[in-house]
Amino acid sequence: MMPEPRIMSLIGWILISLIGASALGGIALHRGEEINSLWFVTAAICVYAIGYRLYAAWIAAKVLVLDETRATPAERLNNGRDFMPTNKWVVFGHHFAAIAGPGPLVGPTLAAQFGYLPGTLWILIGGVLGGAVQDMVTLFFSTRRNGRSLGQMARDELGAIGGSAALIGTMMIMIILIAVLGLVVVNAMKHSPWATSTVFATIPIAMFVGLYMRHIRPGRVLEGSILGAALLLLAVVGGGWVDHNETLRTLFDHEGLTLAWFVIGYGFVAAIMPVWLLLAPRDYLSTFMKLGTIVLLALAIILLQPTVKMPALTQFIDGSGPIFGGKLFPFVFITIACGAISGFHALISSGTTPKLLANERDIPLIAYGSMLLESFVAIMAMIAASVLDPGVFFAINSPAGVVGKEAADAVALISSWGFPVTVEQMQNLAKEMGEATLFARTGGAPSLAVGMASIFGSAFGQGLLAMWYHFAIMFEAIFILTTLDAGTRVGRFMLQDMLGNIYKPLGQTSWLPSVCFTSAVVVAAWGYFLYIGVIDPNGGVHLLWPLFGISNQMLAAIALAVGTGIIIKSGKLKYAWVTGAPLAWLAIITTTASWEKLMSSDARVGFLAAANGMADKLANGALPPEKAAIAPQLIFNLKLDAALTLFFVIVLWVVILDMLRMVSRHLSGKPVLPLSEAPHEPSRLVEDWVRD
Amino acid sequence: MRRRLSRLWRYVRQISGDDAYERYLKHHAEAHPGEPPLACKDFYQRELERKWSGVKRCC
């Protein structure tokens, strides 16, 4: 009787492969006017199913050799707190909630300037062969090392050089990440009283929920969250009232720079406040909102099957795109970043998640599976960007410095690219969304919100477009602010840890002067980059997002280098390509992108070219007075960005060369640092409750 | 159906951390019998401090 189910399953997999291949082929070869988004969903699900069932299972069995009889750190070191064997679906939920951030929503939105095809292909291929593999391998190696962090593993397995490079790299990526996310929020709130008042309202709401969970009904997380979520929805409605009230709306109508100062001040106050009052309750709310909105968006896309209007490829693959400069290769990979491969995930896969794992055999589901879901979020963001009329998409996302300040100039230029749009169309759209204007709203959040609002609007009622738009803005803002707080805190802890080596009391995480000082340093660091972005005449995202992408891919390369080193040291050289191939690809794209960012003579790509160009104009007196006033600062900032890019690429190569040095010593029989794997202990956990 | 719903409810409580204190009491009674456990409020605060001392949220 055995062969029958096997044959059925074989036929099933052949069918999935055929459907997936034809959906992918359909997307890739389609050259008509429009294409149904169901093709994207179908292709994604088939690719994920094959990746998970075949590739992840093969890696688990052959490369990592998962051992389900081996006790995990959660079992051996169970303390009822951070180390605790936990149901695999609960761990999956925690892990996904931790890795899913705003990155996969913003990246694909920006990358849609190349057309939908390049981004979509990279989200699928990069996710299945790169990002999910990185997350899974890191989770496995950290589990075998009592849940040690990526930095510690780099030090234990590669050596002090690789370890410190990983640590400094992590610190720097955090700074850039927070700055660029802060910029996205600021750009979404700029001159929008509705968005600003709603986002501001989330702060007292979170504090109320914090008080509720701590003092009114201690530990009642679900009650508090549901109450808070209801208040957040009210805040969206309330923002509409504020917007319609002449006196109130001026209170919340601000320039980007003012809002940036608010965000910076907020970041500092949030970092020194007790966690229970602001950070933790807002995180509960943002997790609720995040999961709810993702499910809602998936349902709306599947039920509604909106039509994708963006072409498969645009002429901007030559590097002349208005949203950010740079050719398809390597900038589509740098821009998509977290939706396909995210180095940040390695920090979650090492450290937090392995301490909850009840059994090693849950690793593919938790790490590989969560990353596939994250990749699917990126696909949905790509769909949301591509359902807009391309003309509208470019009008929202192109900075005024590229297409012109006047609406008539902007629509004329965008229409001349072959993406027709009219001033009237943009005005009507802005009116429907409850905004004053939608021209040059860079950063990705407004265009994603318009896309989501039009999908939600046609699925759940067209009359509420403005509500849906501001709901989407609130949803993005709330978890961007959570990442901002949490990131500042982590940066502070890392800094305190480093400074503690110089002056002991600074290392005490509860000593108030040290808390204030280190928080101020971290906030000042990201605050400066946020400031750079805000004063940039072109909206700043084109400066900071590539920098973020490069740093994120650099961290991913570090995680893959550590993984490759361990695989080879374990005597599995023939499988080293599993992490080695994505590592090589990341090294190529990060190095090429950094090279272009430094050396390109095109001022829209190269930081130095832009700095020199501006310096020449300033010397010749070719700049208008208001631009000439800030030009020296802009020139300094561009050079700073260039220095940072150089720093990232150096860190990347230090780690890769350190890994190669270790590997070549190992292969030629010389002594290397021993594997730091914890010894095998048999698992005693037989109860099914933990796992099922 | 009811069993499924109650399982789903248990899952939702566990994943959100709503039942963390109950689980702590159970673990405490098994691992440290005789010692008095923390009060709910103190446990909640200590857990939050621990949870937010590392990387917990991503880009």
Residue B5 has pLDDT above 50, yes or no: yes
Q: Does any CB of chain A come closer than 8 Å to the CB of residue B56?
A: yes
The Cα A545–Cα A543 span in angstroms is: 6
Facing A490 at nearest CB: one of B15, B40, B55: B55
Label residue A242 by pLDDT band (50, 70, 90). very high
DSSP A65: -
The Cα A440–Cα A16 span in angstroms is: 42
Inspect the interface and report whether the beta carbons of A101 and B23 lie closer than 8 Å.
Answer: no
Read out DSSP for chain B? -HHHHHHHHHHHHHHHTTTHHHHHHHHHHHHSTTSPPPPHHHHHHHHHHHHTTS-----
Average pLDDT, chain A: 93
Q: What is the amino acid identity at position A6?
A: R
Nearest CA in chain A to B22: A219
Which tokens in the block code for residue A187? 């750009």
A chain contacts of residue B15, beta-carbon cutoff 8 Å: 89-90, 93-94
Q: Which residue, among A463, A555, A633, has the nearest Cα to A173 in the 3D structure?
A: A555
Distance of alpha carbon A319 from the chain centroid:
23
Read out DSSP for A189-246? HTT-HHHHHHHHHHHHHHHHHHHIIIIISTT-HHHHHHHHHHHHHHHHHHHHHHHH-H
Model pLDDT, residue A487: 92
Which tokens in the block code for residue A536? 């940039």
A60-64, A283-287, A409-413, A456-460: the lowest-pLDDT one: A456-460
Residue A1 has pLDDT above 70, yes or no: no
B17 in Cβ contact with A223 (< 8 Å): no
A259 in Cβ contact with B28 (< 8 Å): no
Task: Provide φ and ψ at A150, rounded to 5°.
Answer: -60, -45
Task: Provide φ and ψ at A70, rounded to 5°.
Answer: -90, 135
Sorted by where each starts, the structural domains of chain A and their CATH numbers stand as 10-191+254-667 (1.20.1740.10)
Dihedral in degrees, nearest 10, Cα atoms A65, A71, A77, A83: 70
The Cα A555–Cα A135 span in angstroms is: 12
The Cα A84–Cα A66 span in angstroms is: 19
Q: How buried is residue A647: exposed, middle or buried, by Cβ count under 10 Å (0-12/13-18/19+)?
A: middle
* Cis peptide leading into residue A330 (ω within 30°): yes
Model pLDDT, residue A216: 94
Per-residue model confidence as pLDDT tens digits over A110-153: 999 999 999 999 999 999 999 999 999 999 999 999 999 999 99
Q: How buried is residue A520: exposed, middle or buried, by Cβ count under 10 Å (0-12/13-18/19+)?
A: middle
Percent of chain A with pLDDT over 90: 85
The Cα A462–Cα A388 span in angstroms is: 15
Label residue A419 by pLDDT band (50, 70, 90). very high
Measured in residues, chain B has a length of 59
B chain contacts of residue A284, beta-carbon cutoff 8 Å: 16
Inspect the interface and report whether the beta carbons of A482 and B57 lie closer than 8 Å.
Answer: yes
**Alpha-carbon gap: A416 to the closest alpha carbon of chain B (Å):** 36
Angle between helices A541-569 and A328-336 (to 10 degrees): 80
Residue A551 has pLDDT above 90, yes or no: yes
Hey, how many other C-beta atoms are within 10 angstroms of the C-beta on A536?
Answer: 22
A174 in Cβ contact with A483 (< 8 Å): no
Residue A31 has pLDDT above 80, yes or no: no
The Cα A326–Cα A653 span in angstroms is: 23
Which tokens in the block code for residue A73? 């750190």
Phi-psi region of A219 (alpha: psi -120 to 50; beta: other; left: phi over 0): left
Q: How buried is residue A677: exposed, middle or buried, by Cβ count under 10 Å (0-12/13-18/19+)?
A: middle
Q: Which residue, among A447, A415, A481, has the nearest Cα to A232 in the 3D structure?
A: A481
Separation in Å, CA A542 to CA A190, A556, A638: 17, 22, 12
Nearest CA in chain B to A105: B59
A566 in Cβ contact with A157 (< 8 Å): yes
Which tokens in the block code for residue A14? 């052949």
A482 in Cβ contact with A279 (< 8 Å): yes
A671 in Cβ contact with A159 (< 8 Å): no
- Residues A510-527, mean pLDDT to the nearest whole number: 94
Which tokens in the block code for residue A238? 């309330």
Residue A469 has pLDDT above 60, yes or no: yes
A255-259, A469-473, A587-591, B32-36: the lowest-pLDDT one: B32-36
**Alpha-carbon gap: B5 to the closest alpha carbon of chain A (Å):** 15
For A356-385, the three-class secondary structure string (H helix, E strand, C coil) is CECCHHHHHHHHHHHHHHHHHHHHHHHHHH
Inspect the interface and report whether the beta carbons of A214 and B45 lie closer than 8 Å.
Answer: yes
The residue with tokens 């002349």 is A320
A331 in Cβ contact with A546 (< 8 Å): yes
Per-residue model confidence as pLDDT tens digits over A613-658: 999 999 999 988 888 989 999 999 999 999 999 999 999 999 999 9
Model pLDDT, residue A543: 92
Domain boundaries, chain B: 19-51
Angle between helices A256-272 and A160-189 (to 10 degrees): 130
Q: What letters, b where the CB count within 10 A reaches 16 and e where it falls short, cover A173-212?
A: bbbbbbbbbbbbbbbbbbbbbbbbbbbbbbbebbebbbeb
A residues 151-180 lying closer than 8 A (beta carbon) to B? 177
Separation in Å, CA A429 to CA A15, A145, A236, A445, A455: 43, 54, 19, 16, 14
List, as own/partner pairs, every contact residues A406-411 make where C-beta atoms lie below 8 angstroms and the sequence separation is at least 24, other chains included: A407/A437, A407/A439, A410/A439, A410/A440
Label residue A220 by pLDDT band (50, 70, 90). very high
Residue A673 has pLDDT above 80, yes or no: yes
- Residues B8-28, mean pLDDT to the nearest whole number: 90
Q: Which residue, among A74, A112, A583, has the nearest Cα to A309 in the 3D structure?
A: A112
- Contact partners, residue A660, CB within 8 Å, separation at least 6: none
Size of interface A-B (CB pairs under 8 A): 111
Label residue A16 by pLDDT band (50, 70, 90). very high
Model pLDDT, residue A167: 86
Helix (H) or strand (E) run with residue A35 in it: strand A35-36
The Cα A81–Cα A558 span in angstroms is: 30
B chain contacts of residue A177, beta-carbon cutoff 8 Å: 59
Inspect the interface and report whether the beta carbons of A218 and B40 lie closer than 8 Å.
Answer: yes
Model pLDDT, residue A114: 97
DSSP A679: P
Q: By three-state DSSP, how is residue A544 classified?
A: helix
Model pLDDT, residue A686: 62
List, as own/partner pairs, every contact residues A491-494 make where C-beta atoms lie below 8 angstroms and the sequence separation is at least 24, other chains included: A491/A171, A491/A174, A491/A175, A491/A178, A491/A522, A491/A525, A491/A526, A492/A271, A492/A518, A492/A519, A492/A522, A493/B53, A493/B54, A494/A167, A494/A170, A494/A171, A494/A174
Q: What is the amino acid identity at position B57?
A: R
Q: Does any CB of chain A come closer than 8 Å to the CB of residue B4?
A: no
Q: How buried is residue A680: exposed, middle or buried, by Cβ count under 10 Å (0-12/13-18/19+)?
A: exposed
Task: Provide φ and ψ at A682, rounded to 5°.
Answer: -70, 145
Per-residue model confidence as pLDDT tens digits over A325-361: 999 999 999 999 999 999 999 999 998 899 999 999 9
Distance of alpha carbon A341 from the chain centroid:
9
Q: Which has more pLDDT, B55 or A226? A: A226
Model pLDDT, residue A3: 57
Nearest CA in chain A to B24: A80
A chain contacts of residue B50, beta-carbon cutoff 8 Å: 81-82
Task: Provide φ and ψ at A84, rounded to 5°.
Answer: -165, 120
Model pLDDT, residue A26: 87
The Cα A559–Cα A166 span in angstroms is: 9
Label residue A692 by pLDDT band (50, 70, 90). very low
A chain contacts of residue B14, beta-carbon cutoff 8 Å: 86-87, 90
Half-sphere exposure of A502 (CA within 13 A, CB side): 6
